[in-house]
Amino acid sequence: MKIIRTKDYADMSRKAANIISAQVIMKPDCVLGLATGGTPVGTYEKLVERYNEGDLDFSEVTSVNLDEYRGLPKEHPESYWSFMHRNLFDHVNIDPAHINLPDGTNLDAEAECKRYDEVIRSVGGVDLQLLGIGHDGHIGFNEPHDAFDLGTHCVDLAQETIEANKRFFDGNVDLVPKQAYTMGIRTIMQARKVLMVVNGVGKAEIVKKAFFGPVTPEVPASILQLHPDFILVGDEEALSLI
């Protein structure tokens, strides 16, 4: 595990974007595993800047996203499909045919999970997987559990996640999706490089627990301690306890 300490959110975003840029420059037809959430927004901004400056070319890049809500139309502003287009895909020259997310509109969970695993396999696996971390140590939608989930699977969202998300759905809990499709831990661990971004004092406890505590499915991110090429890029606050 390599830890890169950064000053603040902007510095974290720039350094994470440096690593992703290096990947795209060294292997223009690479497969990027991408994440949503608040933490990587600044990283995507920096990538768009580099693209606009002429330093990055996404024309041969393939993307596979970690997760998507089940049952939400793609065009819904809170779908991860919309998030990725808003924050990255609409601003760079990635080929739309090379963009992959779990299809939340396919309600046949078994078929969709199988299809997505097959997509990841058919593109040759992930070269670089970008991750954030939840306060309980989740990665993707892999929540604390008594075993590590392996491939893409359908998860029931925790009640607190549903409550937390209702602000994005007119404050109406009934409109919040109750399930999501997520890549599993095996797929994440098979990525050739894993890059996690983390910021803010609120994540300091979980960073310590996940990366300096025991490896356990009760803290899903802890398994990354065993990854041969795992880079943690955090700001001072998030890394303040390690």
Give catalytic residues, as residue numbers. Answer: 67, 136, 138, 143
Residue 184 near ligand F6R by CB under 6 A: no
Q: What residue has token string 């902007």?
A: 10
Structure tokens belonging to residue 223: 């398994």
- Taking the C-alpha atoms of residue 233 and residue 4, their distance in angstroms, rounded to an integer, is 5
Note the Cα 99 to chain centre separation in Å: 14
What DSSP character marks residue 231? E
Which residues, including other chains, have CB under 8 Å from residue 36's CB and lie 6 or more apart? 65, 66, 67, 80, 83, 84
Residue nearest to ligand F6R (CB): 132
Which residues, including other chains, have CB under 8 Å from residue 15's CB and lie 6 or more apart? 4, 6, 233
Residue 168 near ligand F6R by CB under 6 A: no
Rule CB under 6 A: choose which of 7, 8, 38, 159 binds ligand F6R. Answer: 38
The nearer residue to ligand F6R, 11 or 60, going by C-beta atoms, is: 11
Task: Please report how close the Cβ of residue 162 comes to ligand F6R at its closest, in angstroms.
Answer: 14
CA distances in angstroms from 119 to 12, 30, 51, 95, 98, listed in the order given: 31, 14, 26, 16, 11
Residue 193 near ligand F6R by CB under 6 A: no
Q: Binding to ligand F6R (CB under 6 A): which residues in 82-141?
A: 132-134, 138-140
Rule CB under 6 A: choose which of 13, 39, 79, 187 binds ligand F6R. Answer: 39
Residue 153 near ligand F6R by CB under 6 A: no
The nearer residue to ligand F6R, 29 or 163, going by C-beta atoms, is: 163
Residue 67 near ligand F6R by CB under 6 A: yes
| Residues in touch with ligand F6R (CB under 6 A) | 35-39, 66-67, 132-134, 138-140
